[in-house]
Structures are given as C-alpha cells and as structure tokens.
Amino acid sequence: MNVIFANLEALQQRIAAAAQTAGREASPVKLIAVSKLQPPEAVEEALAAGQACFGENYVQEAIKKFGALRGSHPGLELHLVGPLQTNKAEEAVKLFDVIQTVDRPKLAAALAEACLKVGRVPTFYVEVNIGREPQKAGVLPEELDAFLEQCRTEHGLDITGLMCIPPLEQDPEPHFRLLRQLADRLKIKNVSMGMSADFETAIRCGATEVRIGTALFGERPARDE
C-alpha cells in the first residue's frame, strides 16, 4: 500500500468520525485534495487510490498538471482554491469546475465575461475574509450580502458556496461557525472550510467541503521562483 493510498484511507476515516461526533452523515463532506506544488506523479497516485476531486492554487500550474488528465479521467473535478487574477479569468473558466475565490466586483465581471466568451459556466463560491485580516483576500462578512447581490444581478453569477481561511493564530471554531451561519442565513448550500490542521473542527461546525493537502500528500515542495 503506497503512502498516499494509506493517507487517503486514514483521512476518510477521520472525516467519518468527525461527522459522526457532530451527528452528521459523512457522505455529504467532500474531500478536496489540494495538490498545489505536488508533482503529477502524486496526483496520479491519488487518482489511482480513488480520489477524484482536487484543488489547485495557481492557474498555470493546474493547466500543466491536469490538462492531459481530463481525457483519461472523465470524473475528475477541479477546484480553484487560490487567488485569481482577472487576466487569468478566461483560462480559469476553461479548466476549473469550481472557482472558490470570487472576492471582488472586478473579478466577478471578468468571470462573467469569460463565461460568455468560452461558453462554459463553472460553479462559483465567494471567499469570505472571515477574520477581517487586512493582508488577506476575501469579502468582509458585513459586506457579503451586497456583494452577492451584485454578483447575481449585475454579473449573472450563480453563487452556490462560501469559503474561508481563518486567522492562523486564532481558534478556528468561532470563524467556522460564523461562516456556517452566514451560509444558512443566505441559503447557500456549499461551505468550504477546514484544512489539514483543523478539518475535523470544520466538519463539526458544518463544513460541506474540506481542503486537505499536507495530510494527504505530505509536505509540499518549495515553489520555484
């Protein structure tokens, strides 16, 4: 049994246990394997182990890594979980099934234009700056209602999810609970929160998707500059 297969099996067990503790079914919790900076061989090992959903941070890296895999793995689902520049909107719309990081009106407009041009409409989530950190991307919680309205009415984007990354040095639970509350109030189905260090807490707080890299693949290589 290879390491990735064993890690995936262990993660699935932990996800199921966390869901059971929260009185939830494990099946609605989707594991997104964050393969940022991982080599193609690691992705292929995960695919062979049965993992079909992956998250990437960089558009160009994802094109190189997953472009050729689409034909041989028709069930592959690819999420963009990193910041998106407006000039990469068209490429992102062509490749990704879900874009989780819609965070500003200019990007929403660029994505809407790209959808019309490409003739393809991915699923869109809004990234929420849940800890109100000035150095982070994302819509502030108090600005979320207005931003959603703008995305839907001005740009025609169907927003079906929220995602967040809580402050690193704080207890993530209050932030996860707030994102779940926002999603419930706004009747948004998908809640993407929780990573390798805190995904069990996120599941207990109502995550429908967890984004896990290190606990599946091991430490990621340094990025070449």
> What is the CATH classification number for the domain harbouring 137?
3.20.20.10
Cα separation, 118 vs 100, whole angstroms = 19
Cα separation, 54 vs 19, whole angstroms = 21
Domain count, the chain: 1
Q: Would residue 222 count as lying in a domain? A: no
Q: Would residue 138 count as lying in a domain? A: yes
Cα separation, 142 vs 90, whole angstroms = 29
What's the pLDDT band for 222 if we cut at 50, 70, 90? Answer: low
What was the pLDDT predicted at 98? 98
What was the pLDDT predicted at 189? 94
Q: Would residue 8 count as lying in a domain? A: yes
Residue 1 clears pLDDT 70, i.e. is over it? no
Q: Would residue 223 count as lying in a domain? A: no
Under a CB-based contact definition with an 8 Å cutoff, are residues 202 and 172 in contact?
yes
What was the pLDDT predicted at 36? 93
User: Which amino acid is present at 51?
Assistant: Q
What was the pLDDT predicted at 67? 84
Average pLDDT value over all residues in the chain:
94
Measured CA distances, 200 to 15, 20, 108, 197 (Å)? 7, 11, 31, 8
Structure tokens at 165: 């990354």
What was the pLDDT predicted at 154? 95
What tens digit of pLDDT does each residue of 55-93 get? 999 999 999 999 888 878 889 999 999 999 999 999 999
Helix 144-153 crosses helix 173-186 at what angle (to 10 degrees)? 40
Under a CB-based contact definition with an 8 Å cutoff, are residues 133 and 70 in contact?
no
What tens digit of pLDDT does each residue of 153-193 get? 999 999 999 999 999 999 999 999 999 999 999 999 999 99
Q: Would residue 225 count as lying in a domain? A: no
What was the pLDDT predicted at 74? 84
Tokens 């909107």 label which residue? Answer: 89
What's the pLDDT band for 223 if we cut at 50, 70, 90? Answer: low
What tens digit of pLDDT does each residue of 25-45 get? 877 899 999 999 999 899 999
User: Which amino acid is present at 113?
Assistant: E
Residue 22 clears pLDDT 60, i.e. is over it? yes
What was the pLDDT predicted at 69? 86
Under a CB-based contact definition with an 8 Å cutoff, are residues 179 and 164 in contact?
yes
> What percent of the chain shows pLDDT beyond 70?
97
Domain span holding position 49: 3-217
Burial degree of 91 (CB within 10 A; 0-12, 13-18, 19+): middle
Q: Would residue 152 count as lying in a domain? A: yes
Nearest partner of 38 among 46, 49, 27, judged by Cα: 46
Residue 225 clears pLDDT 70, i.e. is over it? no
pTM higher than 0.85: yes
Cα separation, 32 vs 93, whole angstroms = 19
Q: Would residue 109 count as lying in a domain? A: yes
Nearest partner of 123 among 181, 28, 25, 189, judged by Cα: 189
Query: Which of residues 195 and 221 earns the better pLDDT score?
Result: 195
Q: Would residue 94 count as lying in a domain? A: yes
Residues contacting 150, CB < 8 A, separation 6+ = 105, 108
